[in-house]
Structure 1
């Protein structure tokens, strides 16, 4: 009897084992991109997939939120590299890919796409298929015209090199197709998994308890995010100073390089008794439960996790038009007010008017269920399995 070709007699090992997904993150520093990536990684492992995680550093306050999480560190930790973390990852990740041999490389957000493109250039055909989530606005009107031109060129390079581009809400599909010049068949839309169903139940319970408790006079405004230029919290402080009554309060939750400038602004405007900057807070339940409105003052965003969290908590939202997806998230105006980017007067007026919004907490909570990891993890899994087995 003639021997059969090896291709017919030997099963492909990759086809007989669970899908192997490799996610790379810089650190556990607080950020929406990293938090969502960790949620997805945990969900994939719970589904029996061979999900692997590599980290540039093991530091960061979010590490305490993920006890027992298994991960591999890239390179020696004796060399400080926080200031050049992207180059560090580009240098060390190829060896990890060759060793782990993933079926798919998951790029968690826009800040990691330079790593993904570099892997394709460095590894060539040895690079696994890349799935990249577009975590930020692609238009970037905040950039000066020359920088915006180069940014658009960079987007087109990504559109040619990355195998699948994932928009975090339906309006992003056309934005990706137009600005990244990606074919429609290379674009998927999966609502950003910033929540789990358990989070929604917990936030709803915290909100109910806060409503039942006595509280003092005045309105409570809440902002959440890295203290960085993108979030434009200086604009928010300016807007708050224009509309705040004697008993109104503003809390800006987060940490970052802009802290000193924001604290100086608060002091200059005489708001030290009214504005809190407590740093990173986790969990956010108590802050969301006691607030009257969430405020976003960002210059640009993707699909902000804090908006989904606010919807789950039954909290109305005031936000700049910092994302093509924002109107969709707010249900066409049912769950919040939109103002132009960079307009302090408009932001102040919307903060004044938000209490007049006919806000339905139950409907807002139902809207938040779009953004659960229970739904998104299966969407990503189906996308990756189709790509790996193509």
Structure 2
């Protein structure tokens, strides 16, 4: 006997690029998990060129828009109408404008929209006018998003406050755990003790902050390696040269799986202005590598729960950052015990949510027809 068709049998998700961002990495892992669990998955990608193209999962239909601009990505509305999925998944804050556009264009023809909150909603990097406009934009989200997903309880609470969303409209689902790859440690991993950064070379990550702090560390036997690629490479290289660190700082670029390098690092640093639930912190603690992180999200202190596993500093506290780094770089410093990561069943949890969203939409429409 054939199994009945699940309510959310066909899932459509989208992203601009496959350049290596955490949002896109998580999306590909989720899409692969959904396909493995028997759902039809369509990914609409602006441009599939990029290091994450190697991670495109089997069994997933990939459609390309041919442009990475947000204006060009508005084609997602027409594609959603022609593809006719059961549910539309928006993988992060950056993309919710496209979800809003799709709902506006399609109206009642738009499938239920499930949107993941991928970054902090309280953006301390914004000036006053931008912050006010952003708060207004966030308050609109419950009008076009059917269900929200937060990656931690604290982020769900923040969504209630910043978006005015009902708590029962927010599900807490961690990102899926990365699958280990074979022989992916970069050959340029420094010998001896080294500090590691992992993430896109983008302004948000504030690698300039880490480079300046590293230059002020007294111990000259320590190296710094930053794994990632992005538009800020030339600016970062210039800063490294200006601080006279050319022999001590390495920028190998993107690696498919940073876990082997994380496991060998003396400590991992994440010094961003803003984050969501930083997966790299969880990945680091999972292999027993201590972390130093800026207080860039309400979720950071949910991950760094004790001084025994890492240090949290205020963004902009240069002296505090140097002190925290020197603490964990001290020779002989004990490493924390590995902390298991959540998210093993993330793909299945999303499918339950998608099915619920589709059934809820059908129920509401049934009531409207009966009225």
Going from structure 1 to structure 2, the CA distance change for 1:385 and 1:334 (only over 3 Å counts) comes to farther
SS in 2 for 1:93: helix
Going from structure 1 to structure 2, the CA distance change for 1:244 and 1:277 (only over 3 Å counts) comes to farther
Alpha-carbon separation, structure 2, partners of 1:346 and 1:60: 36
Of 33, 52, 59 in structure 2, the residue corresponding to residue 43 of structure 1 is: 33
C-alpha displacement of 1:263: 0.9
Alpha-carbon separation, structure 2, partners of 1:206 and 1:72: 26
Alpha-carbon separation, structure 2, partners of 1:206 and 1:244: 31
Contact 1:57 1:73 survives alignment (8 Å): no
Of 238, 245, 252 in structure 2, the residue corresponding to residue 278 of structure 1 is: 252
For 1:197-276, list aligned pairs within 5 A: 199=180, 217=192, 219-276=193-250
In the alignment, what sits opposite 1:101?
A: 84
In the alignment, what sits opposite 2:24?
A: 34
Going from structure 1 to structure 2, the CA distance change for 1:140 and 1:40 (only over 3 Å counts) comes to same
In the alignment, what sits opposite 2:98?
A: 115
Going from structure 1 to structure 2, the CA distance change for 1:66 and 1:72 (only over 3 Å counts) comes to closer
Alpha-carbon separation, structure 2, partners of 1:230 and 1:18: 35
> What 5-or-longer segments of structure 1 have no aligned partner?
1-13, 208-214
Alpha-carbon separation, structure 2, partners of 1:67 and 1:165: 24
Alpha-carbon separation, structure 2, partners of 1:17 and 1:187: 19
1:133 aligns with 2:116: yes
How many residues end up aligned between the 2 structures? 352
Alpha-carbon separation, structure 1, partners of 2:210 and 2:21: 20
In the alignment, what sits opposite 2:146?
A: 163
Contact 2:40 2:60 survives alignment (8 Å): no
Greater alpha carbon shift after TM alignment, 14-23 vs 331-340: 14-23
C-alpha displacement of 1:243: 0.9
Alpha-carbon separation, structure 2, partners of 1:273 and 1:169: 39
In the alignment, what sits opposite 1:296?
A: 270
Going from structure 1 to structure 2, the CA distance change for 1:222 and 1:379 (only over 3 Å counts) comes to same
Alpha-carbon separation, structure 1, partners of 2:77 and 2:151: 28
Of 8, 21, 24 in structure 1, the residue corresponding to residue 11 of structure 2 is: 21
SS in 2 for 1:331: coil
In the alignment, what sits opposite 1:142?
A: 125
Q: TM-score, normalised by structure 1?
A: 0.85
Greater alpha carbon shift after TM alignment, 277-286 vs 32-41: 277-286
C-alpha displacement of 1:18: 5.9
Going from structure 1 to structure 2, the CA distance change for 1:29 and 1:133 (only over 3 Å counts) comes to same
Alpha-carbon separation, structure 1, partners of 2:205 and 2:56: 26
Alpha-carbon separation, structure 1, partners of 2:148 and 2:154: 14
Going from structure 1 to structure 2, the CA distance change for 1:18 and 1:340 (only over 3 Å counts) comes to closer
Alpha-carbon separation, structure 2, partners of 1:244 and 1:150: 43
C-alpha displacement of 1:277: 1.1
Of 336, 346, 371 in structure 1, the residue corresponding to residue 310 of structure 2 is: 336
1:347 aligns with 2:321: yes
Task: Report the structure, 1 or 2, having the larger helix content.
Answer: 1
Going from structure 1 to structure 2, the CA distance change for 1:161 and 1:334 (only over 3 Å counts) comes to farther
C-alpha displacement of 1:223: 0.2
Alpha-carbon separation, structure 2, partners of 1:159 and 1:29: 30
In the alignment, what sits opposite 1:178?
A: 161
1:89 aligns with 2:79: no
Aligned CA RMSD, in angstroms, stands at: 2.3
Contact 1:236 1:344 survives alignment (8 Å): no
Of 62, 66, 73 in structure 1, the residue corresponding to residue 56 of structure 2 is: 66
C-alpha displacement of 1:74: 3.9
Going from structure 1 to structure 2, the CA distance change for 1:244 and 1:116 (only over 3 Å counts) comes to farther
Of 342, 357, 360 in structure 1, the residue corresponding to residue 336 of structure 2 is: 360
Q: Residue by residue, what CA displacement relative to the aligned partner does 1:267-288 show, whole Å, maximum 9, x if unpaired? A: 1111111111111122223321
Contact 2:184 2:256 survives alignment (8 Å): no
Q: Residue by residue, what CA displacement relative to the aligned partner does 1:84-103 show, whole Å, maximum 9, x if unpaired? A: x211111x212221222111
Alpha-carbon separation, structure 2, partners of 1:50 and 1:164: 20
